[in-house]
Amino acid sequence: MSARETRDRFVFSRRDYCLSLPHVGHPLSVPGLGTTLLARPIPGSGRSDLVGPWPYTAAPEPALLERALAALRQDGFVSLTMFLRPDTAAGHVAALGGVADVVPLKDHYIRDPRQPPPAIRARTRRNLAIAERHWRIRALARAEIPPLCGPWQDQLAARRRLSDYARVGPEHFAAIARLDAVEAMAAEDDDGPGAVLVAARAGDETHLLHFLTTPRVIPTCGSYLLWDRALRAWSRDGRVYLGGAPGAEDGPGIARFKARWANRTAPAFLLKAVLDGGAYRALAGRSPARSFFPAYRDAPA
């Protein structure tokens, strides 16, 4: 792939991004598919399945997906799971549904400059005023991302239930810090950064990837100022995708926070394909009808 093709391809679909997810699986490039997949050994089986990159990927073309599924069956994989990005066109989703099972996954929040800006409520204005007295916002150099975000991510994992996909390690931050598409902003005071937003930016889109904080931003609302300033800056270039809310116990609170900064939502989709029906049923055992996919793995958070 040429340097220009790498730059123009959807960031999360690229192999150099997927190299940041070794805790998920080993990157596998399927000719013509348009996105990198991750091969995952299935514990205790000697078999492997495939998953698309976290948090989501560009939707493949239906004809290319059909050919890819045939090739992956021949290669002996058991199943394929892909998280398709929000704002995938309805017609595209319908066409993919003729090749694999495609269902809505969760709504994602979006700051869209083509829509009226979100209303800023009185509580948010008050919190921003507090934050402005204590915090300032600056762009981080990519080299600053790993030493800040690695330890903060460990602290987040210790206090919050994260999905297996979101449990990134220090190698993830080292890898994304090498990508030209990655940018970060921080809220800092005289003691240094207290909160960071990390995003993948390309063309007229920004996709938030990580939001990490320290406890000291909470009393003086530093996160509010960070989100306000970062989204104002990034939305000048186009849409900003804020992600969805997790299914764990803190999901409703995260949803309310993201809704403050968004002016519309759109669903992300889950694409599911069983490649080896006999192996899938044997691995799923007595629970083939679980609501999550694939049924032989643990439920995501």
CB 192 within 8 A of CB 48: no
Tell me, yes or no, whether 298 lies in a domain: no
Tell me, yes or no, whether 19 lies in a domain: yes
- If asked whether residues 77 and 137 sit together in one domain, one would say no
- If asked whether residues 150 and 240 sit together in one domain, one would say yes
38, with CB counted inside 10 A (0-12, 13-18, 19+), is buried
- If asked whether residues 134 and 57 sit together in one domain, one would say no
Question: pTM (2 decimals)?
Answer: 0.93
pLDDT at 5: 37
Cα–Cα dist 188/226, whole Å: 9
CB 10 within 8 A of CB 59: no
Tell me, yes or no, whether 165 lies in a domain: yes
- If asked whether residues 23 and 99 sit together in one domain, one would say yes
Percent of the chain that is helix, strand, coil (3-state, to 5): 35, 30, 40
Tens of pLDDT, residue by residue over 188-240, are: 999 999 999 999 998 899 999 999 999 999 999 999 999 999 999 999 999 99
Tell me, yes or no, whether 119 lies in a domain: yes
- If asked whether residues 122 and 245 sit together in one domain, one would say yes
Q: H or E segment at 51?
A: strand 47-51
Q: Which residues of the chain have pLDDT under 70?
A: 1-8, 248-249, 286-291, 299-301
pLDDT at 288: 52
- If asked whether residues 158 and 220 sit together in one domain, one would say yes
Indicate the length of the chain as a whole number: 301
Tell me, yes or no, whether 151 lies in a domain: yes
pLDDT at 6: 38
Tell me, yes or no, whether 158 lies in a domain: yes
Q: Which domain holds residue 214?
A: 113-262
Number of structural domains the chain divides into: 2
Structure tokens at 4: 């220009």
Contacts of 237 (CB under 8 A, 6+ apart): 201, 204, 206
- If asked whether residues 276 and 249 sit together in one domain, one would say no
- If asked whether residues 157 and 103 sit together in one domain, one would say no
- If asked whether residues 191 and 274 sit together in one domain, one would say no
Tell me, yes or no, whether 121 lies in a domain: yes
CATH number at residue 145: 3.40.630.30
pLDDT at 299: 67
Task: Please report which residue ranges of the chain form alpha helices under DSSP H.
Answer: 3-8, 15-18, 62-74, 90-96, 122-132, 145-159, 170-176, 222-234, 251-261, 277-284
- If asked whether residues 21 and 153 sit together in one domain, one would say no
- If asked whether residues 57 and 145 sit together in one domain, one would say no
pLDDT at 153: 92
Tokens 């069956």 — which residue? 73
Tell me, yes or no, whether 293 lies in a domain: no
pLDDT at 287: 62
- If asked whether residues 14 and 84 sit together in one domain, one would say yes
